[in-house]
Chains A and B, each alone.
Chain A
Amino acid sequence: MEAAALRYTNVSVGYQGTPVVTGVDLELSAGQRLALVGPNGAGKSTLIKSILGLAQILAGTAVVLGNPPARARGLTGYVPQTDTLDADFPVSVRQVVMMGRYRQLGWWRPVRAADRQAVERALDRVGLADRARHRFGTLSGGQRQRVLLARAIAAQPRLLLLDEPFNGVDAVSQEAIVRVLRELSAAGTALVLSTHDLAVARDLADLVCLVNGRQWAVGPPAETLTAGPLRRTYGSSAIDVADGRMVLVEP
């Protein structure tokens, strides 16, 4: 039987011994899409970093693709938020996507034809093949996010982690990203994405995990994105509107 893409059992994660998120119980199989939902500073990014082995597992057991997190790095892909990157960096779109191949290539092994093909295919998939020679920073925020997605795809990961992939992203790019994510999961890639956009989570995810310092609920969107769990997670910034829908406001 194939190992689950992700299995967290009563996990606490944090940095330098200080917990950021506690009590996380998750199980994700191949091809499933998990949305981490919570307010800013809730620990969504820390949870993602812990799956990459870049944040500490302080308690519980974390298994990523049958391995401890740091050992699974060869099988996971990571898409950071584009606004964490220097837009003035002199690097082309193609070079950025090629970075996705660096893990396999290591420090100095020369780039092969297979690597170039993987890069071109990934760019093609996100619809930016014609932008390969442009400087990364000259693209729009949404296009940059698609380039970072292409970079992750170029490594052909079995588990893909995306940190707020729709932040500051225009409608065209959002549609392109959602389409690619659906294709990937249909082909068996497990997805974990953090978002504070409930509509995105409802639309895209098979599973939703509500976090804010601890895990407040986990389950299908229909059970978790409802008044009770959302109010527990968000406190006073969750407001009921008609027919049981929730609106979130910054307190």
Chain B
Amino acid sequence: MIEPFAVPFMGRALAEIALLALICGPISVFVFVRGLSFVSDALTHTVFPGVVIGFVAGGLDGVFTGALVAGVLTAVLLTVLTRSARLSDDAATAVVLTAMFSIGVVLVSRRSSYTSDLTSFLFGRLLTVTPRQLAETAVLAGVILVVLLISVRALLFRAFDPAAAAAAGFRAGWLDLLLNVMLALVVVAAVRAVGTILVVALLIVPAAAARMVTDRLAVMAVAGAGLVFAAGYGGLLLSWTASLRYGVALTSASAVVLLLVLSYLVLLPVRLLRDRRRGVVPVPAERTSPHELVG
């Protein structure tokens, strides 16, 4: 049997996953502590029309630009809508999410290759990652990591205690915008490889799973990144073996996400056991963050 990752397209897929793991570990920690799961979900959906418009206008290379524009626009729009307090956070997010997603579906349904286009946008093409795409992901990953490193202190203070952070002169509005834009950039980096539907798993699961085994934020970020990479490696190997040995067509991105979610389920009892051993009484989940965990 051929060593799977020696095959160029498999090697590139693994490299893409490794880059995504580097950013998804840390960013998912912020999604977790700010309770931004629903916002992440909205971002992944609103990037969709950008992806479609980019594809129609510039082919596969246009997808990146389209996603970037749509992602950043959504991040700004969501920040403004939720801060102006005209709408509740959830309502504002849901309105933006559904409106943008339906625009994407309308656009893609105009095309003759409707079904296959839709499938690849929704579920990604991990195995057709090009060297150019890898380079773009690497640049985005670099930018995101540097920005997070610079702003980690302010973002965490704002997440933990918004009032005290504001009293210390940290501007919540700008910090929210910064985090939303960073989230959008992660979605843009990941969307071609794993698709608009599955990318949300990369934003939520790593930190949530790592939280089961640690109370420390830095460990959560590193363990989350490790989990994404492990799931990527295992998922790619799984889909390779399934199609070569058994003739089963298993989308590689789906296999990766499936393993990631499985890791969460496996770690869940670990947390429960730890809590019981320490005699921790479950605290009623009264989150102070304005963003609740929804779907």
Binding site for B on A (CB under 8 A): 49, 52, 54, 73-74, 76, 78, 80, 84-92, 96, 99, 102-103, 105, 107-108, 135, 137-138, 148, 151, 155
Complex alpha-carbon distance, A62 and B161, angstroms: 26
Binding site for A on B (CB under 8 A): 33, 149-151, 153-154, 156-157, 159-161, 163-170, 211, 214-217, 220, 280, 283, 285-289
Q: When the two chains form their complex, are residues B160 and A89 in contact, meaning their CB atoms are under 8 A apart?
A: yes
Identify 10 new A-B residue pairs, CB closer than 8 A, beyond the known A91-B217, A99-B164.
Answer: A73-B168, A73-B169, A85-B160, A85-B288, A86-B287, A90-B211, A102-B153, A107-B150, A107-B151, A108-B151
The 9 closest A-B pairs by CB, nearest first: A78-B167, A103-B168, A52-B167, A87-B283, A135-B215, A90-B215, A108-B150, A73-B169, A86-B288
B288: A residues at CB distance < 8 A:
84-86
B280: A residues at CB distance < 8 A:
138
Q: When the two chains form their complex, are residues B33 and A76 in contact, meaning their CB atoms are under 8 A apart?
A: no
Q: When the two chains form their complex, are residues B163 and A78 in contact, meaning their CB atoms are under 8 A apart?
A: yes
Q: When the two chains form their complex, are residues B157 and A99 in contact, meaning their CB atoms are under 8 A apart?
A: yes
Chain A interface, DSSP helix/strand/loop, else mixed: mixed
Q: When the two chains form their complex, are residues A54 and B160 in contact, meaning their CB atoms are under 8 A apart?
A: no
Given A54-B166, A78-B163, are A92 and B153 also a contact pair (CB < 8 Å)?
no
- Of all chain B residues, the one with the shortest Cβ separation from A79 is B164
Q: When the two chains form their complex, are residues A76 and B220 in contact, meaning their CB atoms are under 8 A apart?
A: no
Q: When the two chains form their complex, are residues B160 and A80 in contact, meaning their CB atoms are under 8 A apart?
A: no
Complex alpha-carbon distance, A103 and B164, angstroms: 10
Given A85-B288, A102-B153, A108-B150, are A91 and B160 also a contact pair (CB < 8 Å)?
yes
- Of all chain A residues, the one with the shortest Cβ separation from B278 is A138
A108: B residues at CB distance < 8 A:
149-151, 153
A138: B residues at CB distance < 8 A:
280
Complex alpha-carbon distance, A52 and B220, angstroms: 34
8 intermolecular pairs with C-beta atoms under 8 Å apart: A78-B167, A80-B164, A85-B161, A102-B165, A103-B168, A108-B149, A108-B150, A138-B280
Q: When the two chains form their complex, are residues A107 and B215 in contact, meaning their CB atoms are under 8 A apart?
A: no
Q: When the two chains form their complex, are residues A54 and B167 in contact, meaning their CB atoms are under 8 A apart?
A: yes
Q: When the two chains form their complex, are residues A73 and B167 in contact, meaning their CB atoms are under 8 A apart?
A: yes
User: What distance in Å separates the Cβ of B155 from its nearest Cβ neighbour in chain A?
Assistant: 10
Given A90-B33, A90-B217, A91-B217, are A99 and B161 also a contact pair (CB < 8 Å)?
yes
Instruction: Tell me which of A54, A96, A102 has the highest count of chain B C-beta atoms within 10 A of its own C-beta.
Output: A102
Complex alpha-carbon distance, A105 and B217, angstroms: 20
User: What distance in Å separates the Cβ of A150 from its nearest Cβ neighbour in chain B?
Assistant: 13
B283: A residues at CB distance < 8 A:
87-88, 137
Q: When the two chains form their complex, are residues A76 and B160 in contact, meaning their CB atoms are under 8 A apart?
A: no
- Of all chain B residues, the one with the shortest Cβ separation from A104 is B168
B165: A residues at CB distance < 8 A:
99, 102
- Of all chain A residues, the one with the shortest Cβ separation from B282 is A88
Complex alpha-carbon distance, A80 and B161, angstroms: 9
- Of all chain A residues, the one with the shortest Cβ separation from B170 is A102
User: What distance in Å separates the Cβ of B194 from its nearest Cβ neighbour in chain A?
Assistant: 26
Among the listed A78, A88, A90, A105, which residue makes an inter-chain contact with B164, where contact means beta carbons less than 8 Å apart? A78
Among the listed B154, B163, B170, B220, which residue makes an inter-chain contact with A84, where contact means beta carbons less than 8 Å apart? B163
Q: When the two chains form their complex, are residues B160 and A86 in contact, meaning their CB atoms are under 8 A apart?
A: yes
- Of all chain A residues, the one with the shortest Cβ separation from B211 is A90
Given A78-B164, A107-B153, are A90 and B216 also a contact pair (CB < 8 Å)?
yes
A137: B residues at CB distance < 8 A:
283
B287: A residues at CB distance < 8 A:
86
User: What distance in Å separates the Cβ of B104 from its nearest Cβ neighbour in chain A?
Assistant: 35
User: What distance in Å separates the Cβ of B285 from its nearest Cβ neighbour in chain A?
Assistant: 7
Complex alpha-carbon distance, A178 and B153, angstroms: 31
A76: B residues at CB distance < 8 A:
167
A155: B residues at CB distance < 8 A:
168
User: What distance in Å separates the Cβ of B248 from its nearest Cβ neighbour in chain A?
Assistant: 40
Complex alpha-carbon distance, A49 and B283, angstroms: 28
User: What distance in Å separates the Cβ of A78 from its nearest Cβ neighbour in chain B?
Assistant: 4
Complex alpha-carbon distance, A17 and B160, angstroms: 28
Instruction: Tell me which of A88, A90, A105, A148 has the highest count of chain B C-beta atoms within 10 A of its own C-beta.
Output: A90
